[in-house]
């Protein structure tokens, strides 16, 4: 159902232009909220992964280029009636730029209903290699880590409550849509505090490893990591890294050997090196 945008203040456009990420999370209370996906490829992967589409926003000149494949995918998953009833808002590029504040990524956005996330015990069943994003607040880094984790054989990702949500629009886009293919969940506020997450994962049988530049850290090439039956790698926030109490509560601290006077890598780059070594 194509709807030409004539009123930039229309309420149905709030989710694209006037609600921040926190407001989107609460949009369908008491349900799980919504998220905005950017670009055709990411939107297609969201549909394929079973996320329910609520509407699309597309530049008029791109509607026949970008939307047919997406609408066909929606029809295949949800039926032709659902596809035909889906609001597809459209306007010229400059109008949409005025609405959103910047040009749409490849001329297309989609709004989706979120899914409930599993609890930690349920999530960890059957997973041997998991990654913990501990209070990582840069959405670009979160997206890049997710992409590397998916590409390099990790089994799942746990984000702490203060980490940027994996479905934040920039995180999902930087992940190239792999946020929809690798399992992930979010630890509760209490579970994320202090050393509770390391204890929880230790009790579930994981060797807990902190990526940290400490004096007692071992090389990422350590056989102890590769031989661990179940391994949980903790990655810390940009600049400060992991809190000391989290490092101390992990079974082992791990670092990547550095050369030429370089003392560290960006957390996203470090994660890729780490995942390659332990996969």
Q: What is the CATH number of the domain that holds 144?
A: 3.40.1280.10
Q: Are 74 and 169 members of one domain? A: no
Residue 194: predicted pLDDT: 79
Question: Checking phi first, is residue 206 left (phi over 0); if not, alpha (psi -120 to 50) or beta?
Answer: beta
What's the CA gap between 25 and 35, in Å, rounded?
7
Q: Read off the pTM.
A: 0.90
What are phi and psi for residue 50, nearest 5 degrees? 95, 15
Q: Are 241 and 136 members of one domain? A: yes
Q: Are 127 and 109 members of one domain? A: no
Domain boundary among 47, 78, 113: 113
What's the CA gap between 87 and 27, in Å, rounded?
18
Domain boundary among 60, 81, 113: 113
Q: Are 185 and 255 members of one domain? A: yes
The vertex-144 CA angle with 152 and 136, nearest 5°, equals 115
Burial of 258 (0-12, 13-18, 19+ CB in 10 A): exposed
Q: Are 108 and 125 members of one domain? A: no
Number of domain units in the chain: 2
Q: Are 84 and 152 members of one domain? A: no
Q: Are 57 and 81 members of one domain? A: yes
Token pair, residue 255, equals: 């670092």
What's the CA gap between 132 and 114, in Å, rounded?
21
Tens of pLDDT along the chain (279 residues)? Answer: 888 887 777 787 888 888 888 888 887 665 679 999 988 899 999 999 999 999 999 988 888 888 889 999 999 988 888 888 999 998 887 777 777 665 556 688 999 999 989 999 999 999 999 999 999 999 999 999 999 999 999 999 999 999 999 999 899 999 999 999 999 999 999 999 878 999 999 999 999 999 998 888 999 999 999 899 999 999 998 778 899 999 999 999 999 988 888 888 899 999 999 999 988
Q: Domain range holding 177?
A: 120-278
Q: Are 125 and 201 members of one domain? A: yes
Q: Are 130 and 258 members of one domain? A: yes
Q: Are 22 and 85 members of one domain? A: yes
Q: Are 127 and 64 members of one domain? A: no
Burial of 95 (0-12, 13-18, 19+ CB in 10 A): middle
Q: Are 35 and 138 members of one domain? A: no
Q: Which CATH number covers residue 48? A: 3.30.1330.30
Domain boundary among 77, 97, 113: 113
Please name the residue ranges forming H helices in 37-153. Answer: 40-48, 63-78, 80-85, 93-100, 120-124, 139-151
């Amino acid at each position: 159902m194509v709807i030409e945008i004539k009123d930039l203040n229309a309420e149905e456009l709030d989710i694209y232009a006037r609600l921040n990420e926190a407001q989107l999370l609460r949009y369908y209370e008491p349900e799980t909220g919504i998220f905005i996906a950017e670009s055709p490829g990411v939107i297609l992967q969201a549909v394929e992964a079973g996320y329910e589409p609520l509407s699309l926003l597309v530049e008029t000149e791109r509607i026949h280029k970008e939307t047919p494949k997406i609408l066909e995918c929606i029809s295949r998953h949800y039926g032709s009636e659902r596809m035909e009833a889906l609001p597809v808002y459209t306007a010229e590029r400059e109008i949409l730029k005025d609405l959103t504040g910047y040009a749409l990524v490849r001329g297309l956005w989609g709004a989706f209903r979120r899914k409930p996330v599993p609890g930690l015990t349920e999530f960890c069943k059957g997973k041997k290699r998991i990654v913990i994003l501990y209070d990582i607040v840069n959405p670009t880094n979160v997206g890049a880590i997710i992409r590397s984790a998916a590409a390099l054989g990790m089994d799942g990702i746990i984000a702490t409550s203060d980490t940027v949500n994996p479905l934040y629009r920039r995180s999902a886009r930087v992940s190239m849509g792999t946020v929809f293919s690798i399992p992930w969940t979010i630890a509760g506020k209490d579970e994320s505090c202090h050393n509770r997450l390391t204890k929880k994962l230790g009790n579930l049988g994981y060797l807990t490893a902190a990526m940290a530049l400490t004096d007692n850290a071992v090389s990422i090439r350590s056989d102890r990591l590769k031989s661990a039956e179940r391994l949980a790698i903790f990655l810390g926030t940009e600049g400060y890294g992991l809190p000391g109490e989290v490092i101390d509560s992990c079974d082992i601290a791990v670092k990547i050997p550095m050369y030429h006077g370089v003392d560290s890598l960006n957390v996203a780059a470090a994660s890729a090196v780490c995942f390659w070594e332990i996969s």
